[in-house]
Structure 1
């Protein structure tokens, strides 16, 4: 496990400066769950995510182990994943919400500061439905609970076999996966006066694509606490949170792919602003701890921005 006290301090300071992110999009479905003053209205919007990973490029020998040759200068690899999502949320029934998402990815890899590969294209679209199983009225202490449970599917609409100038591109650089995946999701909201807490849990599993590649299952948990401020027609929701993600090992032709799988814990910070039916979401994440299999590049930071419009 890689654990850094100075990263925790930086994360907390960043959280205080940014006043925290109240509805961070989950990495597997890119949808906003949890707190939202316009929660019972239809919504359309655009979301932008920028994720950065960094590490050393280590040769992998035929025995499956990683090696650094004597006298060799190991190059630094920086992976940049930029995704722009078109989001749509619909309420066909008062208790049922549907999320539809279409992502476009622009990913690029830097080696010693120079861009060596650019991979771009549409990713895998998904549809996710959640049913409200609990929505309590505020009690004498003004406490309210809301629970949504549901699931959906991710379709193989994205590019998953783009080549590079040097040959094949690793699967996790590709905008899509080439598979139909099952999505399961749940969200919980606790509201007490102007304070609240929200938690979103998502799980994704799929099968191998026609290239024989199988992505490991993904499991995410996003939790945050927030405080609501209202100034005339403006509503502000600062919050502090944590994001946990876990990925199983990938397989190629039913053989385990080295340097895949692991988990990470990130602290999140951001700010949500609502004016009428328009909302703006800003957030940042820094790693607190991570344990990745092999010599994978590590999480450095993540930035999220979203603009949403509610309608009836």
Structure 2
């Protein structure tokens, strides 16, 4: 927590100093260009002018496949030495609907809903295979963004928000051991957190005539326990991106993220941690370095003015996982945004 606060203060100091360098300039950072928004995978990256609305839709596909133990690849046989079952792959689909409204030039409010669907393929110690599925609406996200400054083509804003635990933590499906009845699925297959989770973020943006850059420091903090006597681990991320405006309607971006996820605390009494690796909380959390390459498009005039489309391909550069877990592979994010 101290490191997180120190990083926020350092980022704010650097950004504040940067905007003071050319204090005679009144040129403001502008969202009215294709790179005026961050890569589509990042939320809470920009603010709006007084009275402006924005609605957005994002689709994200994430593929998890094969195992890692720490930072090393691990064969399924390693997991099956200690557990009866191991997952072999897990594709996840997420649909996100969002809205933003600015009651003033200094404040923008944000609301997000999401719907998740997941599958997990497994192999047993005896060589059998089976698949479980879960789907449903996740937790609702609410946030307020506060602008600190916008001058010299640079801007800095903070975010304070929280999630409402509307997503289920009791998703169930039939497994070979439970047939014909359903049994509660392990932690990664649940669609909600079950806890009210506050979050804090600080976002700095800068731009020149044909390039732009940004950095977002964000933390999600878990408190208390849900109805199943556990809570997910805190998440700390630092995203940095750089974009080139190739034309008035399109930009190309590159992103680098550092991510730390803490272990799950507590344990669901309905799960047997010796049965499958995903039911053991020791196999949760880790440290990641992720990359992304994206495209943003922007319509600046006509009937569809202020309509945006974005795409990003993400891939992990480094993963150091607690225990033994499925490793993350590619992530695809598509989205559209419309403001008025």
TM-score bracket relative to the smaller structure: 0.7 to 0.9
TM-score (norm 1): 0.78
CA drift at 1:229: 3.4
- 1:259-274 equivalent positions in 2, closer than 5 A: 259-274=283-298
CA drift at 1:92: 1.0
SS in 1 for 2:315: strand
SS in 1 for 2:188: helix
Contact 1:215 1:249 in 2 (8 A): yes
Question: What root-mean-square deviation, in Å, do the aligned CA atoms of Structure 1 and Structure 2 show?
Answer: 2.9
Supply the distance in 2 between the matched residues of 1:154 and 1:205 (Cα, whole angstroms).
10
Distance 1:69 1:145, change over 3 A: closer
- 1:178-189 equivalent positions in 2, closer than 5 A: 178-189=194-205
Query: 2:25 is matched with which residue?
Result: none
Contact 1:56 1:74 in 2 (8 A): no
Residues 1:236 and 2:245 are matched in the alignment: no
- 1:155-234 equivalent positions in 2, closer than 5 A: 155-166=164-175, 167-207=183-223, 208-231=225-248
Higher-Rg member (1/2) = 2
Residues 1:153 and 2:162 are matched in the alignment: yes
Supply the distance in 2 between the matched residues of 1:92 and 1:135 (Cα, whole angstroms).
17
Decide which of 99, 102, 109 is 1:98's aligned counterpart: 109
Higher share of residues assigned helix: 2
Tell me which stretches of 4 or more aligned residues in structure 1 moved more than 4 Å: 72-76, 253-256
Distance 1:227 1:39, change over 3 A: farther
Query: 1:9 is matched with which residue?
Result: none
Gaps of 5+ in 1: 1-18, 59-65, 139-143
Residues 1:308 and 2:323 are matched in the alignment: no
CA drift at 1:173: 1.7
Supply the distance in 2 between the matched residues of 1:99 and 1:133 (Cα, whole angstroms).
17
Higher share of residues assigned strand: 1
Supply the distance in 1 between the matched residues of 2:254 and 2:220 (Cα, whole angstroms).
25
TM-score (norm 2): 0.72
Supply the distance in 1 between the matched residues of 2:117 and 2:101 (Cα, whole angstroms).
27
CA drift at 1:78: 0.7
